[in-house]
């Protein structure tokens, strides 16, 4: 049972990330002008933050252990991160002081893109290596399984968000759907997490019996 919940947990992560990226990319293109440079800058800055956050987890053992201990909260952190990044993208021109009818200067666009893409990308960089370690608790081939489940979730998320957008479902409703999926996954894993008994408890019980 726990293994199935862990699998769904990682699957939902993949589903959310690709669906969220799709929604953010649509508004990013609208705000920062849909040209080749904007597309390249979006994905370059996205992976820049993913790599940066993953490097932190790799180098800092304390952060890695903290993320693994609270991995459910780390998954839920996607929700406020998405809202923050979405807001930054929608108001990107206002923040940069560029009028809607003015061209976005390339240098400023690159700088703003790097800044606005940080929230969700950083969570992704923290989550994937953490999920790989976390899954080893019940599977020696956890890394392979994480890749497979994440890829399956990404495929489902990409396909699902495409179908919903084709049906004219709003971005806000799609976000609520994918947020509900990761929330249910996080809650399920949290509720089935083994409770640790304090080391002092057995001694206290023994003394009470004596």
Taking only the tens place, the pLDDT of each residue in 56-85 is 998 888 998 898 888 999 999 999 999 999
**How far apart are the C-alpha atoms of 60 and 130, rounded to whole Å?**
12
Band (pLDDT 50/70/90 cuts) for residue 142 is low
Q: What angle do CA 90, 96, 100 make, to 5 degrees?
A: 60
Residues of 103-132 as b/e, b for ≥16 C-beta within 10 angstroms?
ebeeeebbebbbebbbbbbbbbbbbbbbbb
pLDDT at 145: 81
Residues 36/106, Cβ–Cβ less than 8 Å: no
Has residue 206 got a pLDDT over 50? no
Residues 32/104, Cβ–Cβ less than 8 Å: yes
**How far apart are the C-alpha atoms of 128 and 18, rounded to whole Å?**
13
User: What CATH number is attached to the domain comprising 148?
Assistant: 1.20.1250
* Among 194, 46, 61, 81, CA closest to 130: 61
Share of the chain above pLDDT 90, in %: 46
Has residue 28 got a pLDDT over 80? yes
**How far apart are the C-alpha atoms of 54 and 119, rounded to whole Å?**
13
pTM attached to this predicted model: 0.83
Structure tokens at 62: 């304390």
**Domain housing 25:** 2-209
207 vs 97, residue with greater confidence: 97
Band (pLDDT 50/70/90 cuts) for residue 16 is very high
Q: Check residue 186 and report its DSSP letter.
A: H
Residues 106/168, Cβ–Cβ less than 8 Å: no
Band (pLDDT 50/70/90 cuts) for residue 198 is very low
pLDDT at 41: 87
Overall number of domains in the chain? 1
Looking at residues 182-188, what average pLDDT do you find? 92
Band (pLDDT 50/70/90 cuts) for residue 195 is low
> Would you give the end-to-end CA distance of the chain in angstroms?
39
Has residue 199 got a pLDDT over 70? no
Q: Check residue 140 and report its DSSP letter.
A: T
Band (pLDDT 50/70/90 cuts) for residue 160 is very high
Q: What angle do CA 36, 86, 179 make, to 5 degrees?
A: 120
């Amino acid at each position: 049972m726990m293994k199935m919940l862990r699998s769904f947990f990682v699957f939902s992560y993949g589903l959310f990330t690709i669906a969220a990226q799709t929604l953010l990319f649509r508004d990013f293109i609208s705000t920062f002008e849909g040209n080749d440079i904007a597309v390249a800058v979006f994905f370059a800055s996205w992976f820049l933050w993913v790599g940066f956050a993953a490097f932190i987890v790799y180098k800092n053992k304390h952060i890695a252990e903290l993320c693994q201990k609270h991995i459910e909260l780390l998954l839920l952190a996607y929700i406020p991160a998405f809202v923050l990044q979405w807001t930054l993208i929608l108001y990107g021109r206002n923040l940069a002081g560029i009028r809607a009818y003015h061209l976005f200067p390339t240098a400023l666009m690159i700088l703003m893109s790097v800044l606005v893409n940080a929230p969700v990308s950083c969570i992704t960089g923290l989550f994937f290596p953490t999920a790989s370690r976390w899954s080893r608790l019940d599977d020696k081939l956890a890394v392979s399984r994480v890749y497979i489940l994440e890829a399956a979730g990404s495929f489902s998320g990409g396909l699902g968000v495409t179908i919903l957008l084709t049906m004219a479902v709003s971005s806000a409703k799609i976000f609520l759907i994918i947020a509900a999926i990761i929330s249910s996954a996080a809650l399920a894993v949290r509720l089935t997490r083994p409770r640790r008994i304090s080391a002092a408890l057995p001694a206290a019980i023994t003394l009470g019996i004596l």
